[in-house]
Amino acid sequence: MPQSQDVLYEYPFNERVRTLLRLEDLFEKLNYFCAQEHSFCHHTALLTLFEVLEVTSRSDLRGELLQELERHKQSLLALRNNPQVAENVLASVLAQIDAAQSGLNANPGRAGQYLRDNEWLMSIRSRAIIPGGTCEFDLPSYHAWLMRPASERIAELQAWVGPLAQFGEALGIVLNLLRESAQHSARIAQAGSFQQMLQGRTYSLLQVRLDKSLGAIPEISANKYMLWIRFTTADREPKPRPIERDIEFDLALCSF
């Protein structure tokens, strides 16, 4: 199947990978909306930045990322002088890991604390919880900011996002290395259902890739013993319905 016609669904096996995937999604949206010029986009960028701030404050994300980066670094260093490994590619990946480690270590302390110390931003955050709570009569100073030239808003957004970008870069490396460990296999869900025993093996991420023309939506449940996929279809209806025909898909299991 052509890659452009495929839809990829990913399912995390543990809370750590779940958090990384959520942050990856948020950073992608944040970078997109920050680069736009319309004030509506910059409003959405700020709301997304607040979501990033919330997720990064829930755990020792910095420590977990540093630990993962160091573990991957040591594994890759063991591949030096291996004739089956391209030295230039290996050196490039190691350089990326070193840069990500330096970035994370450059700003110790609680992630995004500089944003929490900004009373103006926190006033917007508190009002954003209320539906429609950021109207001009609620936050006139915010309305005035949104009316400023796009170039000025973009510059300030970049200043607010910049220190958190270290997390986006680090988790991007960790997730890329995880995805590259994928063990792919072509599968068929008979009558729309598929099961596979995992025999207690530990995986971190499950990928399901299928042709979007099939109109199939995978509902995934998995643990260390078994994975179960049931394909459904919306068929222009709000509630998905089970698919009763065979569905061909690509299955990949990834582990750190």
Is CATH 2.60.440.10 the right assignment for the domain spanning 182-254?
Answer: yes
pLDDT tens digits, residue range 37-88?
999 999 999 999 999 999 887 768 888 899 999 998 998 888 887 887 788 8
| Domain range list for the chain | 15-176, 182-254
pTM: 0.88
Residues counted in the chain: 256
Beta-carbon contacts of 168 under 8 Å, excluding residues fewer than 6 positions away, are 23, 24, 27, 31
- Name the residue with higher pLDDT: 238 or 2: 238
- Rounded to the nearest 10 degrees, what angle do helices 61-77 and 165-179 cross at? 50
pLDDT tens digits, residue range 119-175?
999 999 999 999 999 999 999 999 999 999 999 999 999 999 998 888 999 999 999
Q: Is the pLDDT of residue 8 over 80?
A: yes
Is CATH 1.10.3900.10 the right assignment for the domain spanning 15-176?
Answer: yes
Residue 167: both structure tokens together? 């997390």
Residue 225: both structure tokens together? 């013993």
Distance between CA 150 and CA 119 in Å, rounded? 22
